[in-house]
Amino acid sequence: MTTSSTGAHGEQATADLLRQRIASQFARSLHIRTLDTGSCAACEQEIRLLAAPHYDLHRLGFFFTPAPRHADLLMVTGPMIRAFDVAARKTYDAMPGPKIVVATGACALGGVYQPDAFVHGSVGDILPVDVWLPGCPPSPLALLQGLLVAVDRLAEKVSSRSFTADVKPGEVRR
């Protein structure tokens, strides 16, 4: 019998392995359903551009689908208004497993709206989020990177960034 800390470590390793296996399943074919939970539509504009020739999402094997029954990935925008609770839950439940949820944009990540009588303020309050995708709105390139992180085709970068720098004012750090 393992100790609790070893058990927790083992559970984490199993969870990571499971996540990788699920991601590799979707690596070459992924169907995306978008869900607007009170967004200003800026995120939707950027998502729409993913299908344009410059970004050409289809070359990666990613497709948008209008039906949650056909979706592998749920892309949620907006601050999750409370009036949308049932619809969000039904959409999530209608998707076949395994499924991925991507919280898209600063609103969905709890940035712009604080929780009150009308909004939850974060998608994570209602749905289990797998990938957090910041930006207001996230550019199509950022969205593309988020989707590739979700299916484990790109490594996450932001965890290694400290956002502290010894740069001169106005100088862009690369």
Partner 1 sequence: MTLWFLRGLRRGVVTTRYPARPDGSAADLPTPPVFRADALDSELADRLVAMCPSHALRRDADMLVFDVGACTACGRCQEAGGSAAAPSGEFELAATSREHLVKRIPLSREAPR
Footprint of partner 1 (CB under 8 A): 19, 56, 59-60, 106, 109-112, 114, 124, 129-136, 138-139, 141-142, 144-146, 148-150, 154, 156-159, 161-174
Whose structure tokens read 């979706």?
71
Rounded Cα distance, 39 and 103, in Å:
12
Rounded Cα distance, 90 and 158, in Å:
32
Nearer to partner 1, 21 or 69 (CB): 21
In the complex, the smallest distance separating the C-beta of residue 34 from partner 1, rounded to whole angstroms, is: 16
In the complex, the smallest distance separating the C-beta of residue 57 from partner 1, rounded to whole angstroms, is: 10
Nearer to partner 1, 1 or 165 (CB): 165
In the complex, the smallest distance separating the C-beta of residue 25 from partner 1, rounded to whole angstroms, is: 17
Query: Nearest Cα to 101, choosing from 117, 88, 120?
Result: 88
In the complex, the smallest distance separating the C-beta of residue 16 from partner 1, rounded to whole angstroms, is: 10
Whose structure tokens read 């390139």?
141
In the complex, the smallest distance separating the C-beta of residue 148 from partner 1, rounded to whole angstroms, is: 6
Report how far apart, in Å, the C-alpha atoms of 96 and of each of 68, 100, 131, 170 are.
8, 10, 18, 48
Nearer to partner 1, 11 or 56 (CB): 56
Partners of 127 in the beta sheet? none
HSE (side-chain half, CA atoms, 13 Å) at 148: 16
The separation between CA 169 and the C-alpha centre of its own chain, rounded to angstroms, equals 32
